[in-house]
Structure 1
């Protein structure tokens, strides 16, 4: 990758933060700070890498992902907005992850870097005729990662919203992963359309695509090496858990046949029964915070 000057982003960048392009011409914000290294694609406001100092990566990225301009990225945290999945006509998971974003602010101190980006009003109006939204995303990067989608209804009528922070998390082997925090929670199995109740911790032996709802607590991914990635959420009463397993992996773009073994999505969401309706002038903030730590004696 190489640095260039980008007149379209007239934002003062602190030391350790720069705009770069990859070999295909896709533009990224590159962060090399004593507390954290990270990278955010300007197209899609898509964070593809975050590694706090002295820790392993907080996000998974497919080694097969070429990061081409104009294409979605497999890994990191795609922004699903203003609809989740194919609940509306148009691009899967909405327009945010396929649109160029504007960099509006970057700041840093000794412990963290903060980044704010905005989806242009003109782009929203063109892509969603008749809808009036203001959309910002904030990243706070340091010893952990916090991402917040901030949506405001700028119109004079109520507007429907479903969304997700589609976080790909790294695991050593999906066969040996345990997810805690969802015990006794109701979920919609999107593979069957059935409602079910989670019995015990979540384990993985087949394709999994679930929306857990009426749930706002923390979720812990416990890896075989007893490392824990915790997902903390705000403004979210639903959490999506997804792994494509073997057969679907073969149909996914930029996804190796065994990639399913090394990733798991645990997504802060407003999806399924948790879809929202924003009144005129109302603002909703959807936040995920991802942290690393070691497992304690409560691990099953």
Structure 2
């Protein structure tokens, strides 16, 4: 990663925070703070790296990801908005992750860094004719990571919203981890289209693509090496759990054939029956807080 300054800075940046470009010309906000190091792509408002001091990375990114301008990034936290998956016509997972964002505020103190970014109203109007939205994202980075998508209906009619914070988490080996907190929860198996009930912790022996419903509690990723990553959500009654396994890995862009072994997506979402209808003037906040347990915070 090169450290030259990219486009003109839109806001005053505190010490240790700067705009950079990678070797391909993609712009990032680089954060080097005593409490945390992180990197956020300006295109997509896509956080690709977050590592609190003294801990392992909270996010995973593919070993085959070149981070090219104009391309989606495999890893980190893609922002799926204002629709999840292919539930509407247009790009998969909506327009937010493929659009340029504006940096509107950055601040820091001894413990954390806060970043706020906005999607231009003119861009939303062009991409979504007839819809009027205001969209912001907030990142709070320190001993943990909190990401919040803030959506406001700026129109005069109700508008439909589905979304997700598509968080890629690191694991030492996918067949040696389990997910706790979803026991007895109903989920849609998106591979079969069937509803099922989760029996015990979630374990992984094949491709997994599930939306768990009516659930707002903490979800914990337990690794065989005793690492524990917790995901706490707000404004979300659905959670997506995804791993492509072997066969699908070969079809994914920017994804090495063995990358499936080292990642798991646990996503705060408003998906399926948890999709929302926002009334005129209504604001919805979707948040995900990703934390390593203090007792298990050595590097992965």
TM range (shorter): over 0.9
Corresponding residue of 1:15: 15
- Do residues 269 (structure 1) and 264 (structure 2) align? no
Three-state SS of the structure 2 residue aligned to 1:2 is coil
Corresponding residue of 2:3: 2
Q: Cα offset for 1:3?
A: 1.9
- Looking at structure 1, the residues matched to 294 and 201 of structure 2 have their Cα atoms a distance apart, in angstroms, of 18
Q: Cα offset for 1:293?
A: 1.7
- Looking at structure 2, the residues matched to 4 and 59 of structure 1 have their Cα atoms a distance apart, in angstroms, of 25
Corresponding residue of 1:121: 121
Q: Structure 1 residues 21, 5: closer, same or farther in 2, change over 3 A?
A: closer
Runs of 4+ in 1 over 3 A off after TM superposition: none
- Looking at structure 2, the residues matched to 6 and 171 of structure 1 have their Cα atoms a distance apart, in angstroms, of 35
Q: Cα offset for 1:245?
A: 0.2
Three-state SS of the structure 1 residue aligned to 2:293 is strand
- Looking at structure 1, the residues matched to 63 and 187 of structure 2 have their Cα atoms a distance apart, in angstroms, of 31
Q: Cα offset for 1:295?
A: 7.1
- Looking at structure 2, the residues matched to 227 and 256 of structure 1 have their Cα atoms a distance apart, in angstroms, of 24
Q: Cα offset for 1:102?
A: 0.1
Q: RMSD value over aligned CA atoms?
A: 0.9
Corresponding residue of 2:241: 241
- 1:63-82, Cα deviation, whole Å (9 max, x unpaired): 10000000000000000000
- Looking at structure 2, the residues matched to 229 and 156 of structure 1 have their Cα atoms a distance apart, in angstroms, of 41
Corresponding residue of 1:90: 90
- Looking at structure 2, the residues matched to 5 and 27 of structure 1 have their Cα atoms a distance apart, in angstroms, of 6
- Do residues 37 (structure 1) and 37 (structure 2) align? yes
Q: Structure 1 residues 99, 145: closer, same or farther in 2, change over 3 A?
A: same
Corresponding residue of 1:179: 179
TM (norm. structure 2) is: 0.97
Corresponding residue of 1:289: 289
TM (norm. structure 1) is: 0.97
The size of the alignment, in residue pairs, is 295
